[in-house]
Amino acid sequence: MIAKTKLCCAVLIMGSMLIQILLPVQASSTINIQSAKVAVDDRNSRTQRAATRQALTQLLIKFTGQGDISSYQALKTISEDANRYLRAYRYTEENGQLYFVAEFDRQQLETVLKRERLPIWGDRRPDALLWLATENDKGERRITGDGQVNEFAITARREAEVRGVPLTFPLMDLDDAARINAFDVWGLFPRQLNLASARYNVDFVLGARIYRNRTRDFVLPGTDYATNTSGLEPETSAVTQSDFIEPRLEQPLQQAESVQEALLALPEGHITPVALDDGPLFTQEEFSTLAARAKKGRYSLDFFYVPFNGASSEVVHGTLIGDEPNELITQLINRYADHLGQTYAILPGDANSEQRIELSVGNLHDLRGYVAVQQYLEALSVTESVTLVRQQGTVSTFSLHLLGSEKDLRAVLSLDNRLQPLRDAFGQPLEGMHYFWSQ
């Protein structure tokens, strides 16, 4: 056991000289989970009390990673007693609108959430890049760039701020134009969008396309209406495959990088890719599905999100349907935020289920480095307490009392580049919890 410990420490010490070369830098941002602002009409006491409750509700949504907190009675109780957690408040005015800005006691809120065993999500959040393609009435397709101030971008940024998830759009400068075009984004191919996202150093890549659903029913040429089992009758003459453009493939299926990518470009419900010479691209069943979609709402939003350079099994995709495109954007951001909350928020267990693990950190050359690491570990949402148990050269070993699991700890650490895992020659993390301090 002693020999094994010495070996690990030696490897940590030697690896500290190579960390900047071998390990990739992870991207993430720190968000504000201590204050919130609410639009108000005046400054009277009744308005202030209501605004305080509303501000704390907003903050709890960020704090827990839960879009709908109405099902948590404990959270409703906390919001109703909002003044108990209020530390300070002020008023500010922006573009003629008065806002109430409240600052709450984060430590006290964390204590209550832990006691009630409610989800806790720290202030370190994954960065994301959204590739959004839209189509106007003339059939022209555009990619929403970071410098644009259109309604879709405003809605996405506002909802991302409400949910506490960092989100940006591509610059769409000459570098982006050389790597990708509107047809690539419209095709929603994860590999192409991942490659184009590399320059942005993000943790997640999102792709989406918004289009207007056809308002008439569809039928394939030559269909016998009497035998049409879908029950749909065309309002006008039959349309050909070329008349229909939503959604369509912009590239041959053979060029798709995987079955998963091919599926994303097919109509909702399609589960098997087809070759281009296999006959009609859309069957009568698919036309009926598209017609039924149009009856559900005027617009559709097809989307996917995936960790940067993630495997095809990690791709989450789907279709949202509704009458208002901005509402679909809001739903997309909320789905993505809920996914992150499920992945990174910690659900504290009871005392018997909490874990203690040891974590070794190399590259600590002085007392200042050791103190910085201990404070960093203590501030993580997944840790209850941190204790130094061994010190050998530039390697410190800490005992961590966790609120969650080792998997939760690894997920939280992956969002920050200050602690990076020691890896083998193949780039895989070594067995155990062995890290470098990179500051």
pLDDT, tens only, 195-225: 999 999 999 999 999 999 865 544 444 444 3
Question: Which of 146-155, 324-333, 420-429 holds the top average pLDDT?
Answer: 324-333
| pLDDT at residue 20, rounded to an integer | 41
The residue out of 69, 89, 120 marking a domain boundary is: 120
- 284 & 296 share domain: yes
**Same domain, residue pair 140 and 265:** yes
- Do 60 and 161 belong to one domain? no
Distance CA 303, CA 407 (A): 28
Residues 187 and 303 in one domain: yes
Q: How many domains does the chain have?
A: 3
Instruction: Say whether both 164 and 240 belong to one domain.
Output: yes
pLDDT at 210: 95
Answer with the one of 93, 120, 147 that is the final residue of a domain: 120
State whether 324 and 420 are in the same domain. no
Q: Are residues 308 and 267 in the same domain?
A: yes
For residues 270 and 138, state if they share a domain.
Answer: yes
Q: Can you give the pLDDT at residue 351?
A: 59
Residue 13 shares a structural domain with residue 88? no
> Of 295, 321, 344, which residue sits at a domain end?
344
Domain carrying residue 395: 2-29+348-437
Are residues 106 and 202 located together in one domain of the fold?
A: no
Per the listing, tokens 């998997």 go with 407
More confident call, 417 vs 266: 417
- Two tokens, residue 363: 């590259």
Do you know the residue count of the chain? 439
Average per-residue pLDDT for the chain: 80
pLDDT for residue 16 is more than 70: no
Q: Nearest CA to 26 among 193, 204, 202? A: 202
Give per-residue pLDDT as tens, 383-411. 999 999 999 999 999 999 999 889 999 99
Segment 218-267, tens digit of pLDDT: 444 444 433 333 333 333 333 333 333 334 333 333 333 433 333 333 33
Q: Report the 10 Å Cβ neighbour count for 98.
A: 15
Q: Give the predicted TM-score (pTM) of the model.
A: 0.76
Please give the full DSSP string across 387-428, using - where no structure is assigned: EEEEEETTEEEEEEEESS-HHHHHHHHTT-SSEEE-B-TTSP
The pLDDT, as a whole number, for residue 153 is 95
Q: Identify whether residues 354 and 420 lie together within a single domain.
A: yes
Work out the percent of the chain whose per-residue pLDDT is above 70: 74
Whether residue 252 sits in one domain with residue 138: yes
Q: What pLDDT is recorded for position 138?
A: 84
Alpha-carbon separation of residue 103 from 55, 60, 218 (angstroms)? 9, 12, 55
Structure tokens belonging to residue 293 = 């979609």
